[in-house]
């Protein structure tokens, strides 16, 4: 650690990035501040006690720092029991490491763009082996990030397509939606998983009726009929309890196999996907009718918006998203990405979709203020982007519903947003944001605005 601190302090001096404070984090701030001061002072000297090598100077830096602050974690003290010594040693080592990490992060702030430890080490030295490892690890991480982004995009497109199929089927069939279907076709496995969850939640009765009503390709119809046959074994549409056992277990596998056949790569995938989306849309509509044997029953779907709310609640899980790198909120990322896609197609649809976001119906008192702040930021960012791309001093065009216009004008006038119920406010803000972008031919920027965390 000492060597890294010396080299980081030298890098800071060379780059001219002299941070005034240590970065935040655990540990004693005063301890980290003192180590930062000592590391800078040591690195500014030509030698330390006659030593010029970074390794030895770093060793002396840490030794003196430990001595001054009585951080003798690696030494035994007279009169201590074994348990007492272990506890003190662990506590002191933790203090030292936190001080070192915070100091290193402060000194190496010019390397904040690196995405792995080998890159950081390479930036603090000139070792050929480290350089090679940094290159290999960076290539691996970049490939992983690309793969994760593709998986998230596929999940978002599948959610956007299914939401439109349920609530705006006319839009889904329009030319401006074709790019979403194209993304879905690129990864039908993700679409398969989400369709499976959707149809299972919709229930056998609505799905059976939808398959019979929709004009499907012959092979798609056969596959979906097999899906319904298997679904009936897991969810009888006569209202009887769901069965358990080997037969029901096999039926779930049969349902997946039926969807695989319905999305056969050798067929017309575009028509197959559109046909299945039509089934989803009709089935969702029928959940609110007597065709649904579970209508009005607790823990069952009885309305189209109930269905999309349940899907978006665990958006990544229902699409079977598996990321290589840890994502703190993959469900939230998929939701907002799907919202940004719909915003590029129809601003009013984007507003309606926000009413299905789970945090707008949360019992957590922190969620509503956060949702209001997020909605406000959407409009602020859209206004700033529109103004940046404006060619003159013309007035910003405000379009959309009366609610969307009111929210937009309030923010433009630097006034508070209306104190409406959270769902109404967020819907208006989403529509206003998408309308501003659309009016300025900036709809493709919806992703960067709605995905801003």
Q: What is the pLDDT of residue 305?
A: 96
**Residues 20-59: b if buried by 16+ CB within 10 A, e if exposed:** eebbeeebeeebbbbbbebbbebbeeeebeeeeebebbbb
Mean pLDDT of 346-372: 94
Cα separation, 7 vs 56, in Å, equals 12
Q: Where are the alpha helices (DSSP H) in 301-346?
A: 304-313, 315-318, 330-343
| Residues, the chain | 453
Cα separation, 283 vs 262, in Å, equals 17
What would the pLDDT profile of 400-430 be if each residue is shown by its tens digit? 899 999 999 999 999 999 999 999 999 999 9
CA 341 from chain centre, in angstroms, equals 14
Tokens of 173: 């069939």
Q: What is the pLDDT of residue 327?
A: 61
Comparing 140-154, 273-287, 377-391, 417-431, the range with the smallest average pLDDT is 140-154
Question: Residue 228: which of 305, 213, 241, 267 has the closest Cα?
Answer: 213
Question: Residue 167: which of 428, 423, 446, 356 has the closest Cα?
Answer: 356
Q: What is the pLDDT of residue 341?
A: 97
Mean pLDDT of 430-446: 94
**Residue 43: pLDDT above 60?**
yes
Mean pLDDT of 156-181: 93
**Residue 23: pLDDT above 80?**
no
Eight-class DSSP state of 299: T
Mean pLDDT of 162-188: 93
Q: What is the pLDDT of residue 165?
A: 97
Q: What is the pLDDT of residue 397?
A: 76
DSSP codes of every residue in 159-224: HHHHHHHHH-HHHHTSGGGHHHHHHHHHTHHHHHHHHHHHHHHH-HHHHHHHHHHS---HHHHHHH
Q: What is the pLDDT of residue 243?
A: 57
Task: Compute φ and ψ for 333, nearest 5 degrees.
Answer: -65, -40
Mean per-residue pLDDT of the chain:
89
**Residue 4: pLDDT above 70?**
yes
Cβ 427 vs Cβ 355: under 8 Å: yes
């Amino acid at each position: 650690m000492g060597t890294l601190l010396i080299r980081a302090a030298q890098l800071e001096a060379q780059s001219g990035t002299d941070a005034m404070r240590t970065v935040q984090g655990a540990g004693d701030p005063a301890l980290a501040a003192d180590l930062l001061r000592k590391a800078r002072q040591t690195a500014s000297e030509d030698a330390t006690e006659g030593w010029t090598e970074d390794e030895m100077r770093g060793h002396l830096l840490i030794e003196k720092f430990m001595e001054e602050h009585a951080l003798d974690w690696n030494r035994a003290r007279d009169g201590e029991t074994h348990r007492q010594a272990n506890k003190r040693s662990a506590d002191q080592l933790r203090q030292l490491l936190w001080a070192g990490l915070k100091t290193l992060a402060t000194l190496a702030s010019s390397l904040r763009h690196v995405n792995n430890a080998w890159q950081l080490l390479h930036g603090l030295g000139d070792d050929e082996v480290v350089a090679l490892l940094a290159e290999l690890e960076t290539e691996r991480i970049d490939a992983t990030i690309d793969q994760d982004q593709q998986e998230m995009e596929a999940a978002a497109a599948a959610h956007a397509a299914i939401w439109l199929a349920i609530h705006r089927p006319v839009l889904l069939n329009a030319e401006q939606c074709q790019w979403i279907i194209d993304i879905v076709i690129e990864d039908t496995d993700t679409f398969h998983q989400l369709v499976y969850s959707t149809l299972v939640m919709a229930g056998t009765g609505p799905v059976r009726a939808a398959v019979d009503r929709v004009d499907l390709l012959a092979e798609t119809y056969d596959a979906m009929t097999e899906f319904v046959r298997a679904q009936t074994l897991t969810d009888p549409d006569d209202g009887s309890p769901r069965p358990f056992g080997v037969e029901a277990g096999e039926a779930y596998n049969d349902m997946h196999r039926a969807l695989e056949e319905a999305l056969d790569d050798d067929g017309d995938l575009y028509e197959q996907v559109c046909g299945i989306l039509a089934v989803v849309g009709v089935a969702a509509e029928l959940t609110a009718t007597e065709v649904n044997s579970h209508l009005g029953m607790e823990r069952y779907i009885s309305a189209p918006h109930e269905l999309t709310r349940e899907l978006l609640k665990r958006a990544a899980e229902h699409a079977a998203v598996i990321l290589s790198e840890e994502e703190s909120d993959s469900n939230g990322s998929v939701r907002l990405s799907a919202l940004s896609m719909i915003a590029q197609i129809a601003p009013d649809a984007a507003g309606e979709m926000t009413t299905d976001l789970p945090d707008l119906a949360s019992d957590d008192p922190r969620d509503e203020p956060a949702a209001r702040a997020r909605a406000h930021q959407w409009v602020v960012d859209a206004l700033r982007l529109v103004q940046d791309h404006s060619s003159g001093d013309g007035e910003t065009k405000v379009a959309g519903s009366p609610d969307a216009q009111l929210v937009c004008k309030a923010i433009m006038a630097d006034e508070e947003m209306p104190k409406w119920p959270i769902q109404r406010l967020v819907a208006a803000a989403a529509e206003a944001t998408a309308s501003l972008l659309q009016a300025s031919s900036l709809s493709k920027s919806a992703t960067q605005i709605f995905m801003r965390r």
